[in-house]
Structures are given as C-alpha cells and as structure tokens.
Structure 1
Amino acid sequence: MAVTPQDPHDLKPPTDPRRRVLITGATGGIGSLLFERLDADYDLVLHGRHTHSEEMAKRLRRAELDDYPAIEALMDGVDTVVHLAGASSPEASWQDVLDANIIGMRNVLEAARAKGVRRFVYASSNHAFGMYDRLGEWPVYSTTPPRPDSFYGLSKVFGEAIGRYYHDEYGIDFIALRIGWSIADPDEGPDKDVLRAMWLSEDDTEQVVRCAIEAKVRFGLYYAVSDNPNRRWDITNTMLELGYRPKDRWTDHSDKVEDPDQPTPEDWPKGS
C-alpha cells in the first residue's frame, strides 16, 4: 500500500539548528557565490559536476538531473532546495532543455516531495518573458503572461508551471526567482543597455536568495534584479512579499551612461 508523505510543514526541526539547504548546480557562478556566502548560516548540501575549488570538491555530490534515484538520494534531511542546475543558455537545444530543464526539473521536484522537503526555490529567468525584451514591450510585471524567447525560456515557463502544480497538489512551498543578469561587473560582457537594466549584483543575488529561503510566503513568482534606474521589470512583489531591498544599481558600478530614452520606474503607471 502506498504511503502518503508527511506534510513537510509538520516535520520536527532537525537537531542541527541550521537549516539544511541543497543547492543544485552549486559549481556555477551563482551557486559558487551562494556557497561562499551562505555556508556559515546553513547546513549546505552541494550538487554539481566540476569545480576548481578544493573545499567544494570535498563536499560536492554528483548526480545527473535525469537520474531520479541519484537525485532522490540528495534529499535526505533537506529542508529547502535552491535549484540552479540545468541547461542555462538561451542557445540551448531542445534536447538539452528537455533532459535537464524539463525532465530534470520534474525529477528534482518529485524527489523533494517524496522526501518531505518543505521549500523549493527555483532559478527561473527573464528569458521566460524574453520576447517582450526583444520587441521592447515594457514594462513587464510579475503577472504578465509568459512570452519565452527560446527553448531555454520555454523550459523556465514549464518550471514555474510545474512548481505551481506541486504547490497546489502537494503543499510544497515554491518560490520562483526570475533572475536577471547576475555578474560582478556590469561593464563585463556585451555592451547592451538591456543587460545593464536587468543587472543583479552579487550582494543583491545573495540577499534575494536569502529572502526566498526565509520568507513566510509559500508561493510566488518574483523578478530578481538590482535597483537599476532603467529597470523594465517590476520588483514590487519581490520587495513586499519577500522583503527584498536591492542595494545596488549598475550606474554606481560603471563608467557607462544610461540611455535616458528608455522607460524607467518613474515613468511606469502608479503603483507599479
């Protein structure tokens, strides 16, 4: 006879007072940053493939996202999953996103449910709405209908949708962060105004993920960008519901000059 998993919100707290947090894709840029900055405050379980860090290599656990038993083995005692792993390029092929971002996303969510994980923080992307950016149709709100610009963006729409289902059907907390351009220096990479407008600083990356782990809200879809003066994506609910207070703006870390003709938060409708 099948056994119904216990509601994760009814589980007793672990002996270790630090919350156990699994970071998938911990060897990527954001994952490495979170390992460095969150390790003192949480009992981190690190998943990934390759790393140049000796400390991370000692702790790294490897599992392919399409290998369900291996993914389920990562979940023992985990309170919160921060799911960063997967195909991460807008140029990714359909097969890449199918294996990693669709089958893999379902596997990580299902394993979390089966092992009684309480909360799931999902790294979504602005590319789930990237066609608005491509066509310059701004501003974009948290409630704007999805409009992906690639198979990668499409897979992120799927991730948000299956997260909604697992929250409604099984009660797991699901927080999706539509992460912008997370990079230390906004002058690195392509010289594009739209990238600087969606810049997410390292400090703000850390802060918004901490907020997603700790916030009392149990479901939500949130843009994660810094306080950029030419920002086109509304972070009102990120601030009100998660308690996020961005500290940085790209103009304070760059020699570039912003384009004054682009829409800014001051130009948006009242209440945005």
Structure 2
Amino acid sequence: MQPRRVLITGAGGRIGRALVGSLRDRYQLRLHFHRVVPAELTTFEHVVADIAQYDEVESMMRGIDAVVHLAADPRVTAPWESVLPNNIIGTYNVFEAARRSGVRKIVFASTNHVMGMYDRDRMWPVYSWLPPRPDSLYGVSKAFGELLGRYYSDRFGMSVICLRIGWFLPEPSDEIARWMWLSPRDCAQIVERALETDLLYGVFYAISGNSSRHWDITDTMEKLGYRPEDDAERYFIE
C-alpha cells in the first residue's frame, strides 16, 4: 500500500522541522512554507503559500489524505492585526479547503494558552474538558480553531484532533519547562497517534510524562494510546 499523503502546514517552524524528520519514513509528506523554504527541506515536495488566501490553500490540498496544521503566528503577544489573518482566517481556510478536497483528517496544533488563566490563578490540575480561559488573543485564536474543528467534525464527519501543545524544547531548561515540557520524540509520537486514531474529535494536552506536570494527560493516554517516553524531572536530579 502507498503511504498516506500528509500535508504539514508551517513546516518551517521548530515543531514542523522536527516532525519532518520523525514522520518522513511513515508518510509521504508535502510541506507548506509561508515565504522561505529552509535549505535542508528543499528536497521534499513543498509549496509556498499564504494561508490567509483561500485559493492558495485549496491548491495545496490536492491529493492529500491528512493535514497537520501548524501554521500560525505563534507569538503569545501577537496583535489582532496578525492573529486575524494568520490564526483565524488561515485556520478556516485550511479546514474548508480540506473539506472541499475530501481530506478526512486534521491534526490541529492548539496551545496551552487556551487555558492560560487557570495557570495564572494556579488552579491546578487543568483538565482538557474544563471551559476555555485563554490568556491572550493568541489563545483565543486557538480556542476558535478547536471549536471550528468541533463544527467540521459534527457537520461533515471529519476527524479533527486538537493538541494543546506545552513547551516544545530539546531539553527542559527551567522550572516552568519542568511541568510543561514536550520533547521532540514525544511530540512525534503524539502527532502520529493523532493521525492514526479513529476518533472523530478530541482535545488533548500534548506534553511529556513530566512528574511535576500541572495538566492532565490521562485522556491523551487512554483515548489516543499515547505513551510518553520522556520526563523533565530527569534533567533536575542533583
């Protein structure tokens, strides 16, 4: 059988680049970049497009089986003038173009900032099913993406898995990373689990198995079969 064709939007970012290296042997990848194609990724099938322009997004969906949607302005301090086209209009365009092109699976890169006010108020542990309390316009835009995914799943029968990503780093570096770290290999595992699951919809925390974590990953493990291999605590043993 031919491997499934997976489009990774925002493939030039830190997570995107790491996923390319991890998923390349299992899937046939098409990479999306906003402007610049990194030199080390030019050998992959790729497209340069502005996701705020629907026609450009639709053209890159042809022949695709699943989408890992990473493209966005990732700054927590991003102003509305950037959040609107890159995170809201762009996300709608990706979902709608996928639907019209017959794509049945989307893995949506959400964020811990959807629930950031729980962290501000130290209301731990935080469960994925609690009402959203975004801490920024960036968090609001990702909450929009989660609800948009709920709509596309309910209305059109698409499988949409939303991953609330913690802090993606090669290694945890401080006390905050100690409880919110997502290692590269755990990131690759959870994205692959999301791509392979038969669930029609779900919102899950995506962090490593950190002993000091404040976010609950029980449902991530039970429903997606996620088995984290890394624990930030190992880096803080004296």
1:199-228 deviation digits (Å, cap 9, x = unpaired):
001110010000000012121000001111
Q: How does 1:239-250 map to 2 (within 5 A)?
A: 239-250=221-232
Aligned to 1:10: none
CA shift in 2, pair 1:154/1:256, >3 Å: farther
Q: CA deviation at 1:194?
A: 2.7
Counterparts of residues 46-85 of structure 1 (less than 5 Å): 46-48=31-33, 49-56=35-42, 59-85=45-71
2:110 paired with 1:128: no
Q: Secondary structure at the match of 2:108?
A: strand
How far the C-alpha of 1:29 sits from its partner, in A, is 0.5
- Paired with 1:52 and 1:100, the residues of 2 have a C-alpha distance of 20
Which residues of 2 match residues 22-37 of structure 1 at below 5 A?
A: 22-37=7-22
Q: CA deviation at 1:57?
A: 6.0
Q: Is the 8 A contact 1:51 1:57 kept in 2?
A: no
Instruction: Compute the TM-score of the two structures, normalised by the length of structure 2.
Output: 0.96
State the SS of the aligned residue for 2:42. helix
Q: CA deviation at 1:51?
A: 3.7
1:230 is the counterpart of 2:209: no
Q: Give, in whole Å, the separation in 1 of the partners of 2:150 and 2:114.
A: 15
Deviations 1:5-54 (A, max 9, x none): xxxxxxxxxxx610010000001011001111111110101001324333
Partners of 1:55 and 1:105 in 2: CA distance? 23
Name the structure 2 match of 1:40. 25
Q: 1:212 aligns to what?
A: 194
Tell me the residue number matched to 1:161. Answer: 147
The 8 Å contact of residues 76 and 136 in structure 2, kept in 1 or not, is answered as yes
Aligned equivalents of 2:110, 2:44: Cα separation in 1: 28
Q: CA separation in 1, counterparts of 2:228 and 2:25?
A: 22
- The CA distance in 2 between the partners of 1:148 and 1:55, in whole Å, is 34
Q: Among residues 75, 82, 94, which one is paired with 2:80 in the alignment?
A: 94
Q: Which runs of 5+ in 1 are unaligned?
A: 1-15, 258-272
Question: How many corresponding residue pairs?
Answer: 237
Identity %: 49
Specify which of 113, 119, 133 is matched with residue 147 of structure 1: 133
| 1:268 counterpart residue number | none
Supply the distance in 1 between the matched residues of 2:41 and 2:88 (Cα, whole angstroms). Answer: 31
Within 2, Cα distance between the matches of 1:144 and 1:57? 43
Structure 2 unpaired stretches of 5+:
none
Please say if 1:185 is aligned against 2:171: yes
- Is 1:181–1:196's contact at 8 Å kept on the other side of the alignment? no
Q: How far has the Cα of 1:137 moved from its partner?
A: 1.1
Q: Indicate the residue corresponding to 1:138 in structure 2.
A: 124
Shift of 1:142: 1.2
> Are the equivalent residues in 1 in contact too, given 2:118–2:126 (CA < 8 A)?
yes
Q: Secondary structure at the match of 2:229?
A: coil
- Write the distance in 1 (CA, Å) between the matches of 2:178 and 2:142: 22
Counterpart residue type for residue 19 of structure 2:
L
